[in-house]
Chains A and B, each alone.
Chain A
């Protein structure tokens, strides 16, 4: 059937009539919501969705407001990156096995992509996966892995053929984070806390049934994950925005205002408003079935805005800006770019132009894929990975 606002709302109300969240276990409620197709309505039937247009998700959220949620802050990587990739490339068994506990939050996911020697140049990664019968044996080191210490599963890209050029010798796996040989160590950041981890993989044995996509097709599968990552980082509407937080500080501390800061703040307010309008227009284009290239720019704009606003706030605070709330080495359960205090916001925002594709790489992508400008001369494209200069 063709779903519309009324029929999705009707379905959500019918679901609530039969499932009283006050009388049910939280997880039982979430599982039932998934089974009713109201988890992510744009997913297929039987996999938590209705096969409905993506924008109708807002209708489901509205109708189910106030009921237990899946704590999206804890499972962002699963929701934003693993799920779309599993949906696009997983077998039926994989989709059935992984998507439901992923969405309910019973199983947390993390992402094993970046390595100490493979950041922007992800395709040069060195973690090896060697086939032994029905299993793959994985050895290597991954880095910048948020949620690795809480994760049940990971999405993993590993090199399965060093004898071909780097983009072609990769394969995509689901990695069992409880498997022997997986070691997670916290990685302390400039904020003082450890939101990320290093993950050492030593002789980790993964059954071939955990492979996602074809052998050697890992780069293409990873592109799906990365595009979704940038959408997730650049496009998530959050309740508190950096502009809102800094504006609150401005309003509550009239004695700190200066003309210079006022001019800069108003300019950033305009930038924030232009970014909001760009996102509105982008969503309209998507809804009309004409996805525009604007999406590639949103994360770039978001990073710059966050950095400038958070930097302005610390400067505005003068003596209070000289203090920092807490350098304790902690492992936060969720990431909140606008959480804690001004100093933390300033330092954490520095990561916004690095994580999920640096701003420099995003500019290359815009220049080459949107504007059609030629790439830099490449010396690494047609050379077997094992023969690349290191």
Chain B
């Protein structure tokens, strides 16, 4: 196991970065965010197609026999770093990470068929669970699978739903619980017009808005079922997603640090670059140190997740790595974005400068998949630091 980047990972990074540099500059993201705020499409379908299909990013985690690349969380983490650095409006995290992980953990025939479509870039999926759900505090499913095989219920706080052809929704069954697949595209057999309604909520994060998904007797297929009330596929997917989200947060933090350092070298006040004042330099040195730590923690989580079994619960070592990475990286991304706004001065407070896109992404990511406090609490056991009686 290594915490460094392999040559293959660096090649993948270069391909993703080239694509993003060409098609997803901050000005384009800003324009789309503006139009999305006014009711337009939040995600960039062309970019997503190029990333998913041409680069093959959608199938990184999917085994070769199902048409995927058979790569690992290490490569996914590198893609997430680049997407974070660009706050790219694509449903990669929702489809290629969360939904894909849930299907991989669930296994079985339906999951296999869906994974094949995702790997080929023919379909995009979303996990219909709140993005704010913590992997340590599983809420019960809010939707129900009726006797007629249709799903009914409303799920809030879902990412990537507006781009999804398939929604994976946890459901209550007559006995136990299950994970269902609901087709949303009218062109796919089995979908019913009006049975699924996705309403994008006015969101803090302009580049990855959340949506409310309403299922009204929507035809569904059962992907997996379990006795009791626990949804192992969902919570394992959220835990793995949390560990990988750290790499996106690393990318966000790196952009903020790099951009701020460049700005304070240029910006002059009192007849000198503001970056020559120690009050500014020391803040950036501290931030750099936090980002260095974030890279080590995020790499560690990605590497240990790569060694964990595809299905089943994470081992202790991987679970600790995920919690440490989220507890640290979530806060670092927010701090980096806040420093970016502050050290840009007035321009950092304007809509026209992209800093706010990163601040909004960082703050939303901090809440996503468990807050830093949730992840720290989860470490009390493994660290043998018991809570007060």
A interface residue numbers (CB < 8 A to B): 247, 250-251, 254, 257-259, 262-263, 265-267, 269-271, 273-275, 277-278, 280-281, 284-285, 288, 294, 297, 300-301, 360, 362-364, 366-368, 370-377
Q: Flag if B388 contacts A266 (CB, 8 Å).
A: no
Interchain residue pairs with CB less than 8 A apart (12):
A247-B383, A247-B385, A274-B296, A277-B293, A360-B282, A363-B281, A364-B285, A372-B265, A373-B273, A374-B275, A375-B276, A377-B272
Q: Could you say which of A254, A257, A277 contacts B300, with CB atoms under 8 Å apart?
A: A277
Given A277-B3, A277-B300, A373-B276, A254 contacting B288 (CB threshold 8 A): no
Cα distance A275–B299 in the bound complex, in angstroms: 13
18 more contacts with CB within 8 A, not counting A247-B385, A274-B293, A274-B296, are: A250-B385, A251-B384, A251-B385, A269-B385, A270-B376, A273-B297, A273-B324, A277-B293, A277-B324, A278-B293, A281-B296, A281-B299, A366-B289, A367-B284, A370-B288, A372-B261, A373-B276, A374-B272
Q: Which residue of A lies closest to B3 (CB)?
A: A281
Q: Contact string, B238-267, partner A, CB cutoff 8 A, digits 1/0? A: 000000000000000000000001001100
- Interface size of B by CB at 8 A reads 44
Q: Flag if A373 contacts B281 (CB, 8 Å).
A: yes
Cα distance A371–B288 in the bound complex, in angstroms: 8
Interface centre among B277, B285, B380, B388 (most CB of A within 10 A): B285
Determine the chain A residues whose CB is within 8 A of the CB of B295 once the complex forms. Answer: 281
Cα distance A254–B388 in the bound complex, in angstroms: 7
If over half of A's interface residues share one DSSP class (helix, strand or loop), that class is named, otherwise mixed; here it is: helix
Determine the chain A residues whose CB is within 8 A of the CB of B386 once the complex forms. Answer: 251, 254, 257
Q: Could you say which of B277, B373, B389 contacts A254, with CB atoms under 8 Å apart?
A: B389
Q: Is B387 interfacial (CB 8 A cutoff)? A: yes
Distance in angstroms from B185 CB to nearest chain A CB is 43
Q: Is B187 interfacial (CB 8 A cutoff)? A: no
Determine the chain B residues whose CB is within 8 A of the CB of A274 once the complex forms. Answer: 293-294, 296-297, 324, 328
CB proximity to A under 8 Å, residues B276-313? 276-278, 280-282, 284-286, 288-289, 292-297, 299-300
Q: Contact string, B65-95, partner A, CB cutoff 8 A, digits 1/0? A: 0000000000000000000000000000000
Q: Flag if A363 contacts B285 (CB, 8 Å).
A: yes
Distance in angstroms from B330 CB to nearest chain A CB is 11
Interface centre among B289, B327, B379 (most CB of A within 10 A): B289
Cα distance A372–B294 in the bound complex, in angstroms: 21
Q: Flag if B265 contacts A266 (CB, 8 Å).
A: no
Cα distance A375–B281 in the bound complex, in angstroms: 9
Q: Is B2 interfacial (CB 8 A cutoff)? A: yes
Q: Flag if B380 contacts A266 (CB, 8 Å).
A: yes
Q: Is B201 interfacial (CB 8 A cutoff)? A: no
Q: Flag if B282 contacts A371 (CB, 8 Å).
A: no
Distance in angstroms from A210 CB to nearest chain B CB is 38
Cα distance A66–B29 in the bound complex, in angstroms: 62
Distance in angstroms from B247 CB to nearest chain A CB is 14
Interface centre among A247, A269, A370 (most CB of B within 10 A): A269
Determine the chain A residues whose CB is within 8 A of the CB of B265 once the complex forms. Answer: 372-374
Determine the chain B residues whose CB is within 8 A of the CB of A363 once the complex forms. Answer: 278, 281-282, 285-286
Interface centre among A254, A265, A270, A300 (most CB of B within 10 A): A270
Determine the chain B residues whose CB is within 8 A of the CB of A258 once the complex forms. Answer: 388
Determine the chain A residues whose CB is within 8 A of the CB of B272 once the complex forms. Answer: 374, 377
Distance in angstroms from B51 CB to nearest chain A CB is 28
Cα distance A375–B280 in the bound complex, in angstroms: 12
Q: Contact string, B194-223, partner A, CB cutoff 8 A, digits 1/0? A: 000000000000000000000000000000
Q: Which residue of A lies closest to B324 (CB)?
A: A273
Given A251-B384, A274-B324, A364 contacting B278 (CB threshold 8 A): yes
Interface centre among A288, A301, A373 (most CB of B within 10 A): A373
Cα distance A199–B379 in the bound complex, in angstroms: 49
Q: Flag if A366 contacts B288 (CB, 8 Å).
A: yes
